[in-house]
Amino acid sequence: MSSFTSPDFQLTVENSTKALNEMKIHQVLPIPENYHLWYTYTGDYDLSLTKVIDKLIFDNIPIDESVSKKLYQKFFSKDDEKKAINQAGEGFKIEITKLIDVLKDASKNTSGHTTSLANHLDKLSDFDGANELSDIIKLVLKDVEKLNSQSHKLEEQLEKSSDKIKGLESNLENARIESRTDALTNIGNRKYFDEKLSELIGVINTEQNGFSLIISDIDHFKKFNDTFGHQIGDQVLKIVAHVLKNATSSIGLPYRYGGEEFVILVPNSKLEEATTLAQTIRQVISTKSIKNKNTGQDFGKITMSFGIAQFRNSDSPASIIHRADEAMYLAKDNGRNRVQLETDLSKDESSNMAMQV
């Protein structure tokens, strides 16, 4: 056996050790789901998950077994969708089985009627008089009626099965849409965003059409929750989602990335076009304020900070998200309620170096 240890192996061991240490610190059982969650966190494989856990730690919120379970369900579990798909699949199988049985019966009956008709027709050449002919014709008509009856039965069963299959398809489609929609804001959720981003990168790598990614964050969102309660915070999230949906209706796809963060995919766009869109949204948002309709209490204005990155041929989902995220944090550092581009990051670094010199 070789004594050489690859860097990937060493990194895996280090991340595994870190994950187990974190689970021990937070008193979380080392079951597969928890290991998956904490290994992803310690390895920084999911920026959104990292942010959520870091915030929980910063706010001194215990990340116990219960919280770990909720985090796993949010970021990794697809049980609800699998359940819906399995139920729909079982329904399809039942209906298809019924349909096959009916077709088999119809085939057997038709075959029997055809044979019977052939026998009756053979007798036509042997008749001696009208009475015999009349009897044979009656028998033929009787078999034809049987065929018609069986045909109608088949049609009715096909129609019923078709209706049920359409219903199952509709249920499956509704389940698919629901699993990709954020329940509070009614726009795409993080899971849907991840799928669309990967899909977009795959299409671009073959068709060479660029796109931009906008990441935005509600400024001082914690203040809304802490000062006025989560109901007001939820109203802020709904207002922001509504503005994003209207502003991007024909040029982009908005998603709630998590917490107070939203992302927008802008297909076939350059930084300049995405910047125009982000500035428009920023200006509209800044005109919005939350008020109590009954008392007239003003809860304050809403502002957002934006970061934008443009797809590069070498990009993975994580790399373009990272650049847009860094640009967004630069907007926060520079006073909030503003738009920063990934190209501003290098300028900011150069400026800092010049100040140090």
Distance between CA atoms of residues 157 and 187, nearest Å? 40
Distance between CA atoms of residues 119 and 71, nearest Å? 74
Q: Are 285 and 276 in contact (CB under 8 A)?
A: no
Residue position matching structure tokens 């304050």: 300
Closest Cα to residue 259, out of 307, 225, 288? 225
Distance between CA atoms of residues 286 and 304, nearest Å? 8
Residues catalogued as catalytic: 260
In three state form, how does the secondary structure of 75-128 look?
Answer: HCCCHHHHHHHHHHHHHHHHHHHHHHHHHHHHHHHHHHHHHHHHHHHHHHCCCC
Residue position matching structure tokens 């139920």: 87
Distance between CA atoms of residues 309 and 345, nearest Å? 11
Which three-class secondary structure state does DSSP give residue 356?
helix
DSSP-derived letter for residue 338 is S
Phi then psi for residue 213, to 5 deg, are -120, 125
Q: How far are the Cα atoms of 41, 56, 298 from residue 37, in angstroms, in the given order?
A: 6, 14, 40
Q: Contacts from 157-162 at CB under 8 Å and sequence distance 24+?
A: 157/98, 157/99, 157/102, 158/99, 158/102, 161/95, 161/96, 161/98, 161/99
Closest Cα to residue 311, out of 180, 216, 199, 218? 199
